[in-house]
Amino acid sequence: MLNGHNSSQTRNLPETWRQRARRWYESLVRLRLPPPRLRDNLAVGFFPHPVPVDPTREGSALVMRSADTLGGELRARSGDAVLPLVRGVQNLPLHLVVVLREHGAAYYATSVPGASGLTGHPEMRPLAVDPAPGPPSLFAGVHQCVIGEVGYRIDSRVYGVRVQRLPDLEAWYGTAEVADDLSGAGPVGGSEAEVGGRWTAVEGLLARGPGGARPERGPATVAMAHTGPVGLVHVLARADRGDAELELRWRTAGEGRSWSLRATTDGCRLVHREGDASEVVREDPARRLRRRATSSLQVLDDGGTIVVHLDGQPVFGGPVVDDRLGAAGGLAVRARGSVTLRALEAHPRAVRLPAGLDLGAPWTVRGPVRVVTDPFDGPAGDLAEPVAGRPAWRRELGTGVVERTGRGGARVRADREHPNPGRTLYTVPWPHPELADVEVTIIPPGTSAGEGHNGRSGLVLWQDPDHYVVVNLWLDDWFGGASVSTFFHLGGVETMYDYDAVWSNVGLRVRHGHPVRLRVASDGERLMIWLDGEPVNYRALTDVRPHAARLTVRRVGLAVNWEWGDDTGSAFHDFVASGPGGSERDEAAPRP
């Protein structure tokens, strides 16, 4: 599916004090409290009721929550909690998978190759485990409570829903590459795990029992060395007294180098080891193993970001960004004191999407043949002035000016006192209407936030004055991030005033004075946008206008846009437009 806006949420639009007073008065007269603010906008999974009152509070579901400046945050229900897993999910097609197990569920997701925090089709990323048993009867569902933000809205698209039994995943551990219930009799070291091979005893004795494995006569450590990079680890731990301690080790690279998570009844520590030296990266005394209770501990790791949850609560206040030893594999478990371990499972960072659940790859495209290039060298002056050996630019719309600087670049002729006057488009002829793949490096004006500079520059795909698409970077002082915005001018109607523009909040990927590569590719029907090689936004024209005709791209070029403010002097470098010639288009991609 394609969520309308991953950052969808309810929020009061700006209002005068008279409008606010009237709204309060009407609420009092009607004896009705203002509605609560909604930030969770989408839930997909299995629920105990056909129409749950709040799908984020029951069942087994993946939930999308607004992450404000970062776009969306993908979450998953585990026990009675909703675990925050991946922040910065962009407005791209998502393939969401919820696998029900004998006890609880496991969660997976995949998207466009290169999408932040996720794997690309046909692989999916294991995200979380819910060990809690579910109700005997469940209903598959897709539930949405809010679409859009600050007045803008765009419909969500569901390309397909499939519910199927998966014989290959019937075991309790599903897609794990290392799994062991840890029950039975005898030492764990030297025994075979249910999946993954033979455990190696590193320290002490970890002994199996009817309820799991316990350390005997001091600390005990076992390891499974021959594994790839671990993406998700989950284990249940029961602490009977205050001396209980559990340590998970992964990203092990030999010579004492590793990462470890130590959970005790006094708190949690995340430690990076380099030989004899160790560094406590994060510490959280508030998250601890519960005494005389079983705790659920899980670690999510993509090689650059570590997310830890204990009993459904985030540990260390949220994600820990650190890529040291990010490509290393290996797994070890250390236990000390009165702790019993069971149901250990470790999943890789990516697993194959089961064929029975594969609904097709998201659409993507690349033009392999460069057709138009312009490094913007040559003498200073209006870009529309001819330069020998360079593309013939034409100012297509507006009264602003984009000019060559004479130093190997172009810029918007504007500053804080004299911003660009509204939308300005410069284009060059384009000979391949079936495919346009256009990119340029943009440096937003200024050097840092707070200087009063605005960035509103980007790219345009042009058919005629009544049919074109503008994609621009939006950067402004009043917002603690930036966005990539799309405006569809179709049939002479401008979406800015219909409140159906589509944008993706990209955090600090766009900053004042820092170059960023913007790329837009389209077959006239669908549009994909990349920022520094990362896909950040996708839409079909019919997502915005259901009856829109295919765009015949006849010209491509630079855009300086008005989006609640004007540009104050963005710079452009290295314009490239590529076309077909054995392109990588996937014509089997699903369409709404």
Residue 495 pLDDT more than 70?
no
Residue 380 has pLDDT above 60, yes or no: yes
Q: Which pLDDT belongs to residue 591?
A: 37
Question: Is the per-residue pLDDT at 303 higher than 90?
Answer: yes
Whether the pLDDT of residue 30 is over 80: the answer is no
The radius of gyration of the chain's CA atoms, rounded to the nearest angstrom, is: 27
Where does the pLDDT of residue 493 fall: very low under 50, low under 70, confident under 90, or very high at 90 and above?
confident
The yes-or-no verdict on residue 201 having pLDDT over 50 is yes
Angstrom distances, CA of residue 289 to CA of 78, 82, 309: 17, 19, 12
Q: Give the model's pLDDT for residue 237.
A: 97
pLDDT band at 583 (very low <50, low <70, confident <90, very high): very low
In a domain, 8, yes or no: no
Number of domains making up the chain: 3
Q: What is the pLDDT of residue 511?
A: 96
Percent of the chain with pLDDT strictly greater than 70:
94
502 with 546, same domain?
A: yes
Domain boundary at 352, 380, 410, which?
A: 352
Number of C-beta neighbours around residue 522 at 10 A = 25
User: Is residue 11 over pLDDT 80?
Assistant: no
| % residues pLDDT > 90 (the chain) | 84
Q: Let me know: does 316 contact 284? Beta carbons within 8 Å.
A: yes
What is the SS3 assignment for 291?
strand
* Statement to judge: residues 142 and 262 lie in one domain: no
Same domain, yes or no: 27 and 114: yes
Query: Pick from 163, 195, 217: which residue ends a domain?
Result: 163
Residues 314 and 404 in one domain: no
pLDDT, tens digit (0-9, with 9 covering 90-100), for 230-262: 999 999 999 999 899 999 999 999 888 999 999
Task: Answer yes or no: is 585 within a domain.
Answer: no
137 and 248 belong to one structural domain = no
Comparing 334 with 10, which gets the higher pLDDT?
A: 334
Q: Which of 266, 55, 254, 39 is nearest to 141 (CA)?
A: 55
Distances (CA, A) of 384 to 38, 393, 395, 400, 431: 48, 5, 6, 12, 19
Same domain, 559 and 438: yes
One domain, residues 394 and 517: yes
CA-nearest of 425, 387, 423, 437 to 408 is: 387
pLDDT value at residue 148: 85
The pLDDT of residue 31: 64
Q: Within this chain, do residues 107 and 182 fall inside the same structural domain, yes or no?
A: no
- Do the beta carbons of residue 8 and residue 148 sit within 8 Å? yes
Same domain, 533 and 387: yes
> Is the predicted pLDDT of residue 34 greater than 70, yes or no?
no
Per-residue pLDDT at 587: 35
- Locate the DSSP E strands across 242-356: 245-250, 258-264, 267-274, 277-284, 293-301, 305-310, 313-314, 320-321, 331-336, 339-348, 351-352
Domain boundary among 293, 324, 352: 352
pLDDT in tens, 45-92: 999 999 999 999 999 999 999 999 999 999 999 988 999 999 999 999
Average pLDDT, the chain: 92
| Residue 223 maps to a domain | yes
**Residue among 585, 476, 463 nearest 524 (CA):** 463
Whether residue 173 is contained in a domain is answered as no
148, part of any domain: yes
The domain that holds 540 is classified in CATH as: 2.60.120.200
Give residue-wise pLDDT tens across range 418-461.
999 999 999 999 999 999 999 999 999 999 999 999 999 999 99
Pairing of strands 200-209, 212-224: antiparallel
Looking at the fold, whether 87 and 30 belong to one and the same domain comes out as: yes
Write down the pTM of the prediction: 0.93
d(CA 40, CA 232): 24
pLDDT at 20 exceeding the cut of 70: no
- 452 in a structural domain: yes
Query: For residue 349, with 0-12 CB atoms within 10 Å meaning exposed, 13-18 middle and 19 or more buried, which class applies?
Result: middle
336 and 206 share a domain? Answer: yes
**Looking at the structure, do residues 193 and 282 belong to the same domain, yes or no?**
yes
Domain with 532, as residue range(s), is 369-579
Instruction: Say whether pLDDT at 586 is over 60.
Output: no
In a domain, 302, yes or no: yes
- Is there a domain that residue 23 lies in? yes
